[in-house]
Amino acid sequence: MRGYYFITDASLSRAGNLCDVAAAMAAGVRVVQYRQKQGRSRDLAAEARQLRELCRGTRFLINDRVDLALEVGADGVHLGQEDLHFLEARRRLGPDKIIGLTVHNLAEALAAQAMGADYLGVSPIFSTITKADAGAPAGVALLAEIRRYVDLPLIAIGGITLANAPEVIAAGADGVCAISAVVTKAEVRPEIEKFQRLFRPVDQ
What single string gives the DSSP state of each residue in 160-183?
--TTTHHHHHHTT-SEEE-SHHHH
Evaluate whether residue 202 is within a structural domain.
Answer: no
The closest alpha carbon to 148, from 176, 114, 177, 109, belongs to 109
CATH number at residue 121: 3.20.20.70
State the Cα–Cα distance between residues 99 and 96, nearest whole angstrom. 9
Phi-psi region of 128 (alpha: psi -120 to 50; beta: other; left: phi over 0): beta
Sequence letter at residue 197:
R
Question: With contact defined as beta carbons under 8 Å apart, do 2 and 152 qualify?
Answer: no
* CA–CA gap between residue 35 and residue 134 (Å, rounded): 14
139-140-146-148 Cα dihedral, nearest 10 degrees? -150
Q: How far is CA 165 from CA 91, 125, 157, 187, in A?
A: 36, 10, 10, 20
203 in any annotated domain: no
Rounded distance between C-alpha atoms, residue 20 and residue 36, angstroms: 14
Residue-wise pLDDT for 98-148, tens only, equals 999 999 999 999 999 999 999 999 999 997 766 555 567 888 999 999 999
In a domain, 106, yes or no: yes
The count of structural domains within the chain is 1
What's the pTM value of the predicted model, to 2 decimals? 0.94
Residue 84 included in any domain: yes
> Is 71 a member of any domain?
yes
Domain membership of residue 165 as a residue range: 3-197
Tens of pLDDT along 19-73? 999 999 999 999 999 999 888 999 999 999 999 999 999 999 999 999 999 999 9
In a domain, 204, yes or no: no
Residue 99 belongs to some domain of the structure: yes
Alpha helices in the chain (DSSP H): 17-26, 41-54, 66-72, 86-93, 106-115, 139-149, 165-170, 180-183, 188-197
What is the per-residue pLDDT for 186? 94
pLDDT (mean) for 155-159: 95
- Taking alpha carbons only, the member of 110, 121, 78, 122 closest to residue 97 is 78
